[in-house]
Structure 1
Amino acid sequence: MPVLAIDAATMVSSAAVATKDRLLAEVVMQLKKPQSEVLMGHIMDALAIAHVDKSELTGIAVNIGPGSFTGLRIGLAAAKMMAYALDIPIAGIRIDEVLAYHYPVENIYSAAFVDAQKGNVYFSLQKWDKGCLQTVREMTVLEMAEAVDICEGMDRPVVAMGDVVQRRPDEFARCLNTRPALPHHIMPRAANTAFAGIHRLASGRCDNVMTLEPLYIRRSEAEELWEKRRKEQGKN
């Protein structure tokens, strides 16, 4: 039975409908359009193209980040609203897992480089082993150069993915062990979110629709500014 996947963690707005062994439909757009304006349209388009009614859905999968604070909130709100209204299970998928589904092969590492602002990246390493995705290095915030150096020190080739890789491919020019992914594999897509979600839901690992939250790792700029102002006011 079909699962709907939603991905709004980055500049990519994407929705997909898939079953265990088939991608029925996917809508992907990477333009400077607010997720609030386009995401619901993409969800409805994906369902229409797949000829699937909302009542036929058996689950929802959503990219929970880290990534764009606004995009994550919009994507998760849409996913939770639909899961609650349709009374179907929901699965939150981390962005590094979504990216790793581009290259589900052994003998390489998948590296996630996601914009964390101020010249930093959300960075993690994943690998596939006998059909199972394993975390080699947990997601953390690092400087770009440090993350690249970690990849270069690995014992097998590394494929780099994420919005930072798309914007700064020259960072990998000096690398012998690390290569940016192909253009159509460099950003997260709802198709990957769908298949990761199908696997998660089939194993019974669904999330609580009421408590599922975005994976932020760090605080937003607004929160950091508020904390700074609060401390300054406390000194006066």
Structure 2
Amino acid sequence: MLTLAIDTATKVCTVALCREKTILAEYTINMGHTHSEGLLPQLDQLLARTGVQKSEIELIAVSMGPGSFTGLRIGLATAEAMAYSWQCYLHGVDTLKALAYNLPLEGVVLSPVLDAQKGNFYQALYQWENGKLVELAPVAVVSAEQALERMALTGTQSLLLGECDKLVKKGLPAFIKAAPEALRMPRACSAALLAQDEFDADNDRKIFGLEPYYIRRSEAEELWEKKHKQ
């Protein structure tokens, strides 16, 4: 299945083309640029350099969160428009689960994290078993201390992925290490591979109606509620 993947959940803007498990191309920018300006040019260049025609794409994978509120909306709106125009399947993937696909390594607990602001993190825990990714703990908003505690409870060597610099700077216990930087960042090819594994022909025909996985309300919503309670 020829899959085009988009991940704009963080400051990283990444797009990829995969045919089954083969990565044909990936284009990643980690400069914190506005995704609304950079996403479409990246997609155009990806297709131009690979020579892939839009009509050949069978599945579009898009990262659904958690992550940046604005980035998620940009990615989803673009993916929906393309899926509708090209009449192909559309599948939303969990951003943290896709991060765990960066490192299909058994025998360790994978802890992808994203910055949730105000000293908090989005975190989930996964482990690869017999080639399948198993969820050990669901996505939650946790403090730095809680993130380390959740990993400690597994009793297994753990690897951090994603936006983990703040945790690393605080100092990590011996049983927790940060994955190499090249494997920490969101990668659209991982989103593509996850979407192929989760593919459901019936549900993935429903192009519209996907909702980003925000988990918490945006800061703007919280400020609005606080103002109107006064």
Give the whole-Å Cα distance in 2 for the aligned partners of 1:159 and 1:205.
33
Given that 2:144 and 2:167 are in contact with CA atoms closer than 8 Å, whether structure 1 keeps it comes out as: no
Q: Which amino acid aligns with 1:180?
A: A
Give the whole-Å Cα distance in 2 for the aligned partners of 1:207 and 1:176.
46
Partner of 1:192: 190
Deviation at 1:202, TM superposition (A): 6.2
TM-score by length of 2: 0.95
Give the whole-Å Cα distance in 2 for the aligned partners of 1:46 and 1:55.
15
Partner of 1:230: 228
Which stretch of structure 1 is more off in the superposition, 83-92 or 214-223? 83-92
Given that 1:19 and 1:198 are in contact with CA atoms closer than 8 Å, whether structure 2 keeps it comes out as: no
Given that 1:16 and 1:26 are in contact with CA atoms closer than 8 Å, whether structure 2 keeps it comes out as: yes
For the pair 1:170 / 2:175, whether they are aligned, the reply is: no
After TM superposition, the structure 1 = structure 2 runs for residues 132-147 of structure 1, keeping only pairs within 5 Å, are 132-147=132-147
After TM superposition, the structure 1 = structure 2 runs for residues 104-115 of structure 1, keeping only pairs within 5 Å, are 104-115=104-115
Partner of 2:213: 215
Q: Which amino acid aligns with 1:18?
A: C
Partner of 2:120: 120
Q: Which amino acid aligns with 1:114?
A: L
Give the whole-Å Cα distance in 2 for the aligned partners of 1:71 and 1:201.
23
Q: Which amino acid aligns with 2:109?
A: Y
Partner of 2:58: 58
Query: Residue 106 of structure 1 aligns to a residue in which SS?
Result: coil
Which stretch of structure 1 is more off in the superposition, 89-98 or 143-152? 143-152
- Give the alignment's Cα RMSD to 1 decimal: 1.5
Deviation at 1:49, TM superposition (A): 2.1
Given that 1:80 and 1:90 are in contact with CA atoms closer than 8 Å, whether structure 2 keeps it comes out as: yes
Give the whole-Å Cα distance in 2 for the aligned partners of 1:10 and 1:62.
13
User: Across the two proteins, how many residue pairs are aligned to each other?
Assistant: 230
Give the whole-Å Cα distance in 2 for the aligned partners of 1:137 and 1:79.
29
For the pair 1:181 / 2:179, whether they are aligned, the reply is: yes
Query: Could you list the runs of 5+ residues in structure 1 that have no partner in the other structure?
Result: none
Deviation at 1:121, TM superposition (A): 0.5
Query: Residue 138 of structure 1 aligns to a residue in which SS?
Result: strand
TM-score by length of 1: 0.92
Q: Which amino acid aligns with 1:211?
A: G
Structure 1, residues 159-181: CA drift from partner, whole Å, max 9, x if none?
10112x1354223x331111111
Given that 1:89 and 1:201 are in contact with CA atoms closer than 8 Å, whether structure 2 keeps it comes out as: no
Partner of 1:4: 4
Query: Residue 199 of structure 2 aligns to a residue in which SS?
Result: helix
Given that 1:15 and 1:191 are in contact with CA atoms closer than 8 Å, whether structure 2 keeps it comes out as: yes
For the pair 1:16 / 2:29, whether they are aligned, the reply is: no
For the pair 1:92 / 2:92, whether they are aligned, the reply is: yes
Query: Residue 206 of structure 1 aligns to a residue in which SS?
Result: helix
Query: Residue 176 of structure 1 aligns to a residue in which SS?
Result: coil
Query: Residue 76 of structure 2 aligns to a residue in which SS?
Result: helix
Query: Residue 65 of structure 1 aligns to a residue in which SS?
Result: coil
